[in-house]
Structure 1
């Protein structure tokens, strides 16, 4: 049987893949790139801004007062009488931003919750709480008063105000900014209240304290 001569490779075709390989490689590359894009999108989503808190102590801004709260009697100007109400929840505690909050004072405007103010159970938790709020919501706007330091963080329509120093315990107030501003504007200005570049006026009034 005659021996067939060896087949020589055709010039220029030795590196050409079979038909369909180019398309397969292109699709594979697109799939890999798509997978990487999805991973990047997931990482961006996970590293995005922390959403503003919608409430604390199992209560949600905008809701009415549930059973079990203790109503407080607070003198109010005529413009807010019957529209602004305060309640407390004695003994109630919650951990937020790794700090234990206790004994909240709850403010309701026209029957809807807009402000939650609570004491820090441990005064030593103030520096850590400040760091974690800054981590989640960026650098605060702080102002040192005569005997008290106040820092404000804003996340959308929600404000967080941390007050420390002074005679009383450290406190954290979480409130709906627009509603709190309207209430504070209708309250008499407390002596020494913060204006301009400090935390908004009326913090004590929104808490239910007399000016």
Structure 2
């Protein structure tokens, strides 16, 4: 699941990004509205965490353009103005949710999790398949009742495979959804992560390679 954080206060932006990465999101960052539009043109995001008061291009205009483009990206708008009129104004622009500053990171991540479920076809809050149970909000994975400890990327890859409901997910799709824009597109990181994931999930294997299509959990 991929998130774009657009916030001109760098300490806040860095804090949001660090927190969301701990929650196994792939996070890109930018600090002004013009750069945000460039990123949105180049990449596909599940959620945009968007500060309203941005330099160069105002956050309101960024939100308008996201909506006008009929993007599937969901917008969580942030602002220091938390009055009712401001919240209504933000939502009327097409934002999907609105969070006034100051906020708790735990609440922000809960709202991002909720929006990711709306950015794609509906998925249950807890994903289950082949004896694996994954709770994205709690960051927990069990196989046949046994807890499994996964790294952030392994957790995110498993989430994507479970969301596919038996269909194959290509390495290119996993790179797009799980890693940020700095990843080398020619890297073998997906294969290595799949190998680590399979080792931690144990026997019998449940993740299979589909020739020329990717990986799947049948």
Task: Please tell me the TM-score bracket, short chain as reference.
Answer: under 0.3
Please state which structure has a larger fraction of its residues in helix: 2
- TM-score, L = length of structure 1: 0.26
Flag the structure with larger Rg. Answer: 1
Indicate the structure whose relative CO is greater, using CA pairs within 8 Å and at least 6 residues apart.
Answer: 2
Relative to total residues, which structure has the larger strand share, 1 or 2? Answer: 1
